[in-house]
């Protein structure tokens, strides 16, 4: 349970599933996101404040796993988040451990405390979140899923959940993401770059010899 004091006023709660969003972003980019292509959490914080309005207090937590040996890389990011006003829940990455249950536990706690009015969940993980989020809507909580439309179809097509594409949040990304798909081709056509170099074929053939 979050050791911080329980809120005494209604909240608009944002929970950010860092591993899932990183995976979705990497899929769009065709590789690991660089610092220039990662979302700007100061812009996200300003957007959350605008969504909270005058009726609720904004609250935000980023949930992440920390793999062994990665602490030097993760520490500056975590400290930057905390300095921006985000809480961080960090959990060691051991075998198949994930943070889904920790996110859901935090959401349940705020709901049981009677302060949860609006919930924004940044994740495309329908297996973990679809049913719990729909249950909250049935109990009067306004729920919006934040993600990429290519990876959050459960929310895009939902009749009860709201959806906000992350790239539509002002200034969240410094440059447009390469999201042209076969469904969104411009009339003049578009170049679709390779997702890996041709030389990867040689590495693949060496790693997996033909029997």
Does residue 97 register a pLDDT over 80? Answer: no
Question: In CATH, what number is assigned to the domain containing residue 32?
Answer: 3.40.50.1010
End-to-end CA distance of the chain: 53
Over the Cα atoms of the chain, what is R_g?
19
Q: Assess if residue 150 is contained within a domain.
A: yes
According to the model, what pLDDT value does residue 88 have? 97
Query: Residue 194 pLDDT more than 50?
Result: yes
pLDDT band, very low/low/confident/very high, at 191 (cuts 50, 70, 90): confident
Residue 121 lies in a domain: yes
Q: What is the pLDDT of residues 7-30, one digit of tens each?
A: 889 999 999 999 999 999 998 888
Q: Is residue 106 part of a domain?
A: yes
Cβ(120)–Cβ(48) under 8 Å? yes
- Quick one: tokens of 124? 């495309």
Q: What distances in angstroms separate CA 78 from CA 40, 74, 83, 130, one per listed residue?
A: 13, 6, 9, 28
pLDDT digits (tens, 9 = 90+) for 123-142: 999 999 999 999 999 999 99
- 113 is a domain residue: yes
Q: What is the DSSP letter of 175?
A: S
Cα 16 from Cα 41, distance rounded (Å): 11
- What pLDDT sits at residue 186? 77
Q: Does some domain include residue 144?
A: yes
Domain count, the chain: 1
Query: pLDDT per residue over 155-189, tens digit each?
Result: 999 999 999 999 999 999 998 888 877 777 778 88
Domain for residue 203, yes or no?
Answer: no
pTM of the model: 0.85
Domain range spanning residue 101? 11-180
Q: How far apart are CA 153 and CA 139, in angstroms?
A: 23
The answer as to whether 50 is a domain residue is: yes
pLDDT over 70 for what percent of the chain?
94
The answer, yes or no, to whether residue 116 has pLDDT greater than 90, is: yes
Write the burial class of residue 16 (CB in 10 Å: 0-12 exposed, 13-18 middle, 19+ buried): buried
Query: Is the pLDDT score of 211 beyond 50?
Result: no
Q: What is the pLDDT of residue 195?
A: 67
Q: Does residue 148 belong to any structural domain of this protein?
A: yes
């Amino acid at each position: 349970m979050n050791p911080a004091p329980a809120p005494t006023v209604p909240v608009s709660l944002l929970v950010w599933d860092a591993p899932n969003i990183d995976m979705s972003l990497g899929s769009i980019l065709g590789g690991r996101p660089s610092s220039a292509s990662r979302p700007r959490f100061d812009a996200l914080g300003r957007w959350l404040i605008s969504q909270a309005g005058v009726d609720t207090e904004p609250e935000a937590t980023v949930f992440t796993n920390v793999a062994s040996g990665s602490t030097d890389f993760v520490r500056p990011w975590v400290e930057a988040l905390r300095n921006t006003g985000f809480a961080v829940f960090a959990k060691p990455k051991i075998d198949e451990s994930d943070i889904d249950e920790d996110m859901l536990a935090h959401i349940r706690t705020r709901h049981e405390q009677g302060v949860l009015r609006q919930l924004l969940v940044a994740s495309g993980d329908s297996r973990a979140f679809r049913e719990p989020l729909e249950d909250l809507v049935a109990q009067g909580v306004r729920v919006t899923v934040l993600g990429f439309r290519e990876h959050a179809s459960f929310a895009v097509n939902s009749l009860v959940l709201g959806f906000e594409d992350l790239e539509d949040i002002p200034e969240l990304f410094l440059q447009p993401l390469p999201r042209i798909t076969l469904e969104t081709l411009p009339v003049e056509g578009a170049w679709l770059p390779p997702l890996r170099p041709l030389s990867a074929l040689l590495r693949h053939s060496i790693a997996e010899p033909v029997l």
